[in-house]
Amino acid sequence: MSSNEPLIRAENLKKHYQNESDFIDRLLGRQQWVKAVDGISLEIEEGETLGLVGESGCGKSTVGRTLLQLHEPTDGTVYFKGEDITEYSSNELRELRQEMQLIFQNPQSSLNPRLTVNDIIGEALDIHGLEEGQSRDERIKELLELVGLSASHANRYPHEFSGGQLQRIGIARALAVEPDFIVCDEPVSALDVSVQAQILNLLKDLQEEFGITYLFIAHDLSVVEHIADRIAVMYLGEIVEVGTPEELFAPPQHPYTEALLSAVPEPDPGWNPERIILEGTVPSPLDPPSGCKFHTRCPKVIPPADLEFEQEEWRAVRSFATRVESGDLPLGSLREEYDVSDASEFDEAIREEHDIPARLSDPEAEEILSETIQALEQGSFERANDAIGDAFETPCTVHEPELQQVEGTEIACHLYDSRYQDGSVDESAASGQPTAAVSESDD
């Protein structure tokens, strides 16, 4: 292991699950794949804490478990201390378990209710034959005291403890094998505020004492900001931004990071910023959007090069265009609701329903739009589709953004890529080397 090799490094890690399908579906090969983790790369230095945040269903827990090889990755490699552990045999993996551990979200379900605390913590020692007899009990007591419990608790069962105490037992179990790397999977989100602070302090103390490296997974940005040295933000199985908390929380930011941060309520009644409210919910990982996966909710989608738009206007037109393409427009109920009798009333109704202004600021765009609405009025989705064509196409739906250095942080967004800033969707642009728009990369 070379000196500048990080403790753990993942390259293009992918984990796809088979969607629940029955026997017949499997026989006929009708499977769907959930792309829980879709090609992420990250590295964590020794003694460092990397925070991993994202909304539920973004695949952050799967990343943790795939790094630990509890789930076999679909693709990609994981290097631990310079060795590719995806190639390990099951015996080698068992040895590896002494070096990497996991702390869980739900302290109730992460401890076997039928075992005493002694058995739970002792199991780790037994499996690897670390301590026996008298010294085993001594070690367990030592571990209990280390995590702030009394040694006299060793013979009790989990149901006799409170949530915070159970979480401490879970931590003691992970520490029993003296690991170098611990994945903390939402370790404080099930706990009360005051207990949460106790556990966060405990994790910090342990890191200082034993130099443990953490991957800290959480949905709560304020917790991650407190504990992490660097933070990675995930959206739909991909990392969209990585950086230190200071870098991440200051511009330039990925629009998703910006929105996520803005949504976190601040415990200060006077705090009243411009909130960015993201519309809709995270799309299904079964069928993620093409190009940049965030474009369906992104408040900063890049407009096409040849058209001039206000951002709001552009978003309204863009979402209308998507619905024309998918044919998902309830025209019947629209006519009823707005009491439509002729073509111009239909035009008004459509625009009102989709928050599109009566006239778009760009004459060319206006022409395309009104032609589309006319086609719809005559009941032809096909002609509407022809009319709209790819006029409202953006690079965000066509090209997948890659992580690139932008003033210290790494961001995966076309906004920071000079090639797309004018909204060009030229296919050839994607094949070239990415160039940073805002600053040069510094590696």
Partner 1 sequence: MAMLEVEDLNVRFYTEDGVVKATNDLSYQIEAGERFGIVGESGAGKSVTSLSLLRLIDSPGVIESGEIRFKGQNLLELSDEEMRQIRGNEISMIFQDAETALNPAYTVGEQIAEAVRYHLDMDEEEARERSIELLEDVGIPDAAERYSDYPHQFSGGMQQRAVIAMALSCDPDLILADEPTTALDVTIEAQILTLLEEIAEKFDTAIQFITHDLGVVAEFCDRVMVMYAGHPVEIGTVEEIYYDPQHPYTVGLMSSIPRIGDDSERLQTIPGRMPDLIEMPPGCNFHPRCPYAEEICTQLSPELVDVETGQEAAPDDRNQHAAACLAHTGELAGSLDYEVTVRDELEATATDGSGTTEGEIDE
Partner 2 sequence: MTTEQTHQHAKRGRISIDGFDAESIEKREPLSDWQPSLESEEGKGRLYYAWKRFKSNRLALFGAAVIVIMTLMTIFSRPITVAGVPVQPISLAPYDPAAQDVLTGYSSPSAEHLFGTDWAGRDILSRIMYGARWSLSIGFIAVGVAMLIGVPLGAIAGYFGGWVDELIMRVVDLLYAFPFIVLAIAIIAVLGRGYWEMVMALVLTGWLAYARIIRGEILSVKENEYVTAAKALGATDRKIISRHILPNAMAPVIVQATLSVGTVVLAAAALGFIGLGLSPASAEWGVMLNVANANGAIRLGYWWAAIFPGLAIFMFVLSINLLGDGVRDAFDPQGSTSQNREGGGL
Contacts with partner 2 by CB under 8 A lie at 23, 65, 68, 70, 93-98, 100-102, 104-106, 109-116, 123-124, 127-128, 150, 153, 155-157, 159-164, 170, 173, 177, 190-192, 195, 266-274
Q: What is the DSSP letter of 20?
A: P
Shortest distance, CB of residue 156 to partner 2, whole angstroms? 4
Shortest distance, CB of residue 92 to partner 1, whole angstroms? 38
Phi-psi region of 423 (alpha: psi -120 to 50; beta: other; left: phi over 0): left
Check the CA dihedral 226-227-233-236 and report its sign.
negative
Give the CA count within 13 Å in the CB-facing half-sphere of 410: 20
Beta strands in 318-415 (DSSP E): 404-406, 409-411
**Nearest to partner 1 of 53, 391 (CB atom):** 53
SS3 347: helix
Q: Which does 104 bind (CB under 5 to 8 A by kind): partner 1, partner 2, none?
A: partner 2
SS3 294: coil
Give the total of residues touching partner 1 (CB under 8 A).
45
**Nearest to partner 2 of 92, 138 (CB atom):** 92
Length of the chain counted residue by residue: 443
Shortest distance, CB of residue 19 to partner 1, whole angstroms? 16
**Sheet containing 100-103, strands listed edge to edge, beginning at the edge strand earlier in sequence:** 100-103, 181-185, 213-218, 49-53, 230-235, 238-243, 409-411, 404-406
**Nearest to partner 2 of 86, 404 (CB atom):** 86
Q: Which does 291 bind (CB under 5 to 8 A by kind): partner 2, partner 1, none?
A: none
Cβ–Cβ contacts within 10 Å for residue 427, how many?
9
Asked if residue 259 binds partner 1 (CB under 8 A), the reply is: yes
**Nearest to partner 2 of 215, 302 (CB atom):** 215
**Nearest to partner 1 of 70, 278 (CB atom):** 278
CA distance 6 to 83: 11
Q: What is the DSSP letter of 216?
A: E
**Nearest to partner 2 of 110, 213 (CB atom):** 110
Tell me how far CA of residue 18 lies from CA of 21, 22, 65, in angstroms. Answer: 8, 11, 17
Shortest distance, CB of residue 367 to partner 1, whole angstroms? 27
CB burial of residue 374 (10 Å; 0-12, 13-18, 19+):
middle
**Nearest to partner 1 of 158, 434 (CB atom):** 158
- At CA 301, angle to CA 37 and CA 371, rounded to 5? 120
Helix (H) or strand (E) holding 17: strand 8-18
Stretch that binds partner 1, among 93-101, 109-117, 197-205, 380-388 (CB under 8 A): 197-205
Q: Which of 264, 286, 363, 364 binds partner 1 (CB under 8 A)?
A: 264
Shortest distance, CB of residue 225 to partner 2, whole angstroms? 9
Shortest distance, CB of residue 49 to partner 1, whole angstroms? 13
- The one-letter code for the residue type at 321 is A
Shortest distance, CB of residue 104 to partner 2, whole angstroms? 4
**Nearest to partner 1 of 92, 279 (CB atom):** 279
Q: What is the DSSP letter of 167?
A: H
Check the CA dihedral 108-112-116-119 and report its sign.
negative
Stretch that binds partner 1, among 77-85, 111-119, 214-222, 339-347 (CB under 8 A): 214-222
**Nearest to partner 2 of 140, 384 (CB atom):** 140
User: Between residue 2 and residue 61, which ones bind partner 1 under the rule CB under 8 A?
Assistant: 55-56
**Nearest to partner 1 of 278, 437 (CB atom):** 278
| Cβ pair 335, 346 in contact under 8 A | yes
User: Between residue 118 and residue 177, which ones bind partner 1 under the rule CB under 8 A?
Assistant: 162, 164-165
CA neighbor of 309 nearest in space, from 368, 233, 229: 368
CA neighbor of 67 nearest in space, from 90, 89, 44, 48: 44
CA distance 120 to 195: 22
Q: Which of 82, 251, 327, 330 binds partner 1 (CB under 8 A)?
A: 330
Q: Which of 69, 167, 196, 409 binds partner 1 (CB under 8 A)?
A: 196
Residues 420-439, mask of contacts with partner 1 (x by CB under 8 A)? --------------------
Q: What is the DSSP letter of 333?
A: H
SS3 43: strand
Q: Which of 2, 134, 271, 358 binds partner 1 (CB under 8 A)?
A: 271
Q: Which does 177 bind (CB under 5 to 8 A by kind): partner 1, partner 2, none?
A: partner 2
Q: Residues in the site for partner 1, rule: CB under 8 A?
A: 55-56, 162, 164-165, 192-198, 200-201, 204, 219-223, 225-227, 249, 259-271, 275, 277-278, 281-282, 330, 333, 337
